[in-house]
Amino acid sequence: MSKHPRRRFLREKEIKRLLLEFSRKIGCTTEKIFGPKPRIEALKTQDAEFFFIDGKPLIAKLNDILFPTLIFSKVLHFLPQIVIDMGAVPHICNGADIMAPGVCTITRDFKENDLLLITEERHGKPLAVGVALFDSQNMRKIEHGKIVKNIHYISDKIWSLIKN
């Protein structure tokens, strides 16, 4: 068996299943983003599974969680945002989960286990994609402790693979 993973095109059924799951995760119709019949390639590595659309790794799957990669700017704005203060930025970029004291703003309402976009307060740049550990109503009341699980961040293995 080859040490280098190979990309393969997904079949039509696999594409439909993937896009249905992804549209549920981000809350948007994927046909608007990708068109009626996108060609999607999959690449499975030790760390994650990537889905390439037009040659770019726009979607990833890690531990059965499907999410947009940080380069997929077309859909990142569909995700509710958590804006963090500048003091938390280096920690988030090193993989730390998001703690309540570092949060400046929570936009929109969301449920527990929804995907969230983590941005920094100064320029609004996306730093990470995370999973909500609480719904938005409860999260706004929490003053201490972990509130978002960081699953993909700038400088992680997924980011490194995407940039290469």
Q: Could you tell me if 95 and 46 lie in one domain? A: no
Q: Could you tell me if 82 and 151 lie in one domain? A: yes
Q: Could you tell me if 150 and 80 lie in one domain? A: yes
Q: What's the pTM value of the predicted model, to 2 decimals?
A: 0.92
Count how many domains the chain has: 2
Domain that residue 82 falls in = 75-162
Is pLDDT at 57 greater than 70 in this prediction?
Answer: yes
Strand ordering across the sheet containing 81-84: 98-99, 146-153, 126-132, 115-120, 81-84, 103-106
Nearest by Cα to 158 from 43, 10, 80: 43
- pLDDT at residue 2, as a whole number: 47
Q: Could you tell me if 27 and 100 lie in one domain? A: no
**DSSP assignment, residue 146?**
E
Mean pLDDT of 89-116: 96
Mean pLDDT of 92-108: 96
Confidence of residue 6 (pLDDT cuts 50, 70, 90): confident
CATH number, position 53: 3.10.450.120
Is pLDDT at 97 greater than 60 in this prediction?
Answer: yes
Is pLDDT at 116 greater than 70 in this prediction?
Answer: yes
